Homo-oligomer: A and B are copies of this chain.
Amino acid sequence: MSTSIASTSDLQHQQERIFAALDGFRIEVPSWGFANTGTRFGKFVQAGAATSIAEKFADAGEVNRLTGAAPTVALHVLWDLPNGTADVETIRGLEAEYGVKAGSINPNLFQSQEYKFGSIANPDAGVRKAALDHLLESVEIGKALGSRDVSLWIADGSNYPGSQSIRRRIEWMEEVLKATHDAMNETQRMLVEYKPFEPAFYHTDIADWGMALHLARVAGPRAKVLVDTGHHYQGTNIEQIVAWLLHTESLGGFHFNDRKYADDDLTLGSIDPYQLFRIFHEIVSTPGETTDNIAYMIDQSHNLKGKMEAMVQSVVTAQELFARAALVDQEALTALQDECRLVEAEELFRSAFWTDVRPMLRAWRKARSLPVEPLQELRTSGYVERISAERGARNQASGGSYA
């Protein structure tokens, strides 16, 4: 197709688009992505894994230094601010020291023994109160840090038919989320995540985007839906859900990762890169949509890949796929779609996917005084060797197993 024969002026035009896209693209890294994690069958301990919030900020700062696209780090209240708002000053110091800001605030309602039968959907009013208290503290942390998003993943559910009332638990969740929303200030948002299964296996209380959207609306106007790309049934058209959330003005953000079957938490774009391209395309093709309202976040679990390597690779892959999506000529595409010229529309669309944008990313990095090859720079920098030496002993001491 003629669209694939790029003339010089086309190339110029492509470069402008890509530079503009990359200048506006930011993706948040999770503090827990630098710590040791694993599967239920055990975890493979990495010598360089972060063992403290300071080390997590150090690692996040390095990822941002290498990529220029990861200026914030998602915080997990239980693990990163165990003393709640009392830890805010520490975080502020780390922000200053490592040049990355605190991003979304992530409460934890799944780990404590009291949440065995649920947190905000627990039949026990006392447990629900404890959960609400933790959410309210998370809101206060967000205020203190000037962080916009409180990001809720509710792991509640049940494992066996009949063992819990699906219906009554909905009402309990509505109450708690409404109370949480009431406590937020005008600049804060609540993001409601959904997931079809795991760790609950028969029913998960917030299982799909329809349930998350309902709860967000009941909670209040600044509650939005969070899409974790790994939290869908096989075959689900995720970009369609994104289109509906954009249409209903309720898309809050993403937890990006990839998977082959379930919530595998692999590096984004590693299994089905075309899907992530299509997701980005839904956003860039929505008129008037700025990505300012959409929180792009990484949520992955790197059990085998090196923590730092995997994170840099993820940021770079996200940039590449976002740049490809930005290349689609929306006007031409709309015209072909309206005339139902299917093959031509498809070829125009995926011609952008097939364009090798890597040279332009290198050009952009050079123009922005960033390392031209972030992964290579990471390897030659000796950073991983250094943190492995520093943290090795501490990591050796941990190291989990199944039994």
Contacts and interface: CB of A to CB of B under 8 A. Distances in A.
A342 B170 contact: no
Contact of A347 (B76, B198, B301, B313): B313
B262 A166 contact: no
A304 interface: yes
Contact of A1 (B2, B123, B197, B376): B376
Interface stretch (A67-75, A135-143, A177-185, A394-402): A394-402
Contacts of A191: none
A192 to B, nearest CB: 13
A23 to B, nearest CB: 22
Interface string A10-41: 00000000000000000000001001011111
Contacts of A333: 162, 165
A265 B257 CA distance: 25
A270 interface: yes
A333 B189 CA distance: 38
Contacts of A310: 343
A241 to B, nearest CB: 8
Interface in A250-297: 259-262, 264, 266-267, 270-274, 278, 281-282, 285-286
A199 interface: yes
Number of copies: 4
A181 to B, nearest CB: 19
A241 B170 CA distance: 12
Contacts of A274: 161, 271-274
Contacts of A41: 110-111, 155, 198-199
Interface stretch (A58-66, A85-93, A353-361, A363-371): A353-361
A160 B267 contact: yes
A343 B313 contact: yes
Interface stretch (A97-105, A144-152, A228-236, A385-393): A228-236
Contact of A285 (B167, B208, B355, B401): B167
A340 B402 contact: no
A132 interface: no
Given A110-B42, A155-B41, A210-B209, A337 B260 contact: no
Given A37-B402, A164-B340, A167-B286, 20 more contacts: A41-B198, A123-B338, A124-B340, A160-B266, A160-B270, A160-B346, A161-B349, A163-B345, A166-B240, A167-B246, A167-B247, A203-B240, A207-B240, A233-B235, A233-B236, A233-B261, A237-B260, A270-B346, A273-B274, A274-B274
